[in-house]
Amino acid sequence: MTSRSSVTGRRLGSHEVILAVVTVLVVGGIWILSPEFRNPDNLLTQLRFMSELGFIALAMTLVILSGGIDLSVGAIFGLVCIAFGKFWQDAGLPLALAACCGLLVGVLAGAVNGFTVRLTGMPPFIVTIGTLALFRGVAEGLSQNRSVSGFPEWFQFLGSGYVFGIPVQLLLFVVLTVVFGVLVMRTVFGRSIYAIGSNEDASFFSGVQVGPTRVWIYVLSGFMSGLAAVIYVSRVTTTRADMGLGMELDAITAVVLGGTSIFGGKGTIVGTVLALVLVAALKNGLTLLGVRGDGTVVVIGAVLVVTLLISNFLGEARRT
């Protein structure tokens, strides 16, 4: 029997500790080097941007923990943007109701993913590439390259407002991080996700509700993409069909960099949040230090690959 503390110790394993140290070093380094970076306004703005991606990354953590992947989150994001605009402007629904309908579209899109994965038993990356094309295609078809704008001023609170001096979405992100943390560590649903990700057959024979859990994970992923989309629309006050293009890659980068195994069963919400902070700080910091925006993309790609290589070889060294 392992004692409780050592279980926790292993769960918040070395990857998170290394990541925390690297994040502190990077943020600290940029903090010292760049006065613009440590300007509170800049920090809050960066955290605002980070939070929107963060919603999607939180749900993606659950998806990947279960041994799946959801490549369609960026497309769901775009589809919800367009659907929300359509419900409001063309269907004439009140704005709040239109936003709820937008969220519902996200949930339905997630359900399509979940049921298709469950029914076909195909690898989730193939299923969600199909739905990526479908959702993005429907968004493009519905919008016909026209954008919706002219949202009322009160609606901008969601995307640009502050509560106690903290950006609204950052506050929401903190709350959701706690909710997701409790969800994966303290609920049957959360523990089932780890079980499925570690060994699907074993968890099925142990009475874990494998099928329904899988479906709910993708529904949750669709909902979080929708939520991120509504908040994003509130911030930029327009909708376009290409919104959220490539967002799935940013979300997966954050989750994998955060130490979640792409095979499932291993990883933490804390790791994902640390990786989100690290990537956001790298992006903003390098830009402020004069590296072109495209250079930061290279750095993030390299950080991802090198981190995994180190993690793999350290893991091998520890085992032998």
Show the site string, 227-246: x = touches another protein by CB under 8 A, - = not: --------------x---x-
Taking residue 215's Cβ as centre, other Cβ atoms within 10 Å add up to: 20
Out of 21, 96, 202, 297, point to the residue binding another protein (CB under 8 A).
297
188 near another protein, judged by CB under 8 A: no
144 near another protein, judged by CB under 8 A: yes
Out of 262, 287, 288, 289, point to the residue binding another protein (CB under 8 A).
262
90 near another protein, judged by CB under 8 A: no
Nearer to another protein, 187 or 312 (CB): 312
181 near another protein, judged by CB under 8 A: no
Out of 25, 126, 163, 182, point to the residue binding another protein (CB under 8 A).
126
Instruction: Report the C-alpha gap between 153 and 150 in whole angstroms.
Output: 9
312 near another protein, judged by CB under 8 A: yes
**Residues 6 or more apart in contact with residue 160 via CB below 8 angstroms:** 168, 234, 235
In sequence order, which ranges of the chain are alpha helices (DSSP H)? Answer: 4-11, 14-33, 35-38, 40-65, 73-89, 95-120, 124-143, 157-160, 168-186, 188-198, 200-205, 210-236, 247-257, 269-288, 293-319
Nearer to another protein, 208 or 274 (CB): 274
- CB hemisphere CA count around 278 (13 angstroms): 31
Q: Max Cα separation, the chain?
A: 65
Site for another protein in 277-296 (CB under 8 A): 292, 294-296
**Structure letter (DSSP) for residue 148:** E
147 near another protein, judged by CB under 8 A: no
Residues that bind another protein (CB under 8 A): 69, 116, 119-123, 125-127, 129-138, 140-141, 143-145, 241, 245, 249, 252-253, 256, 262-263, 292, 294-302, 304-305, 308-309, 312
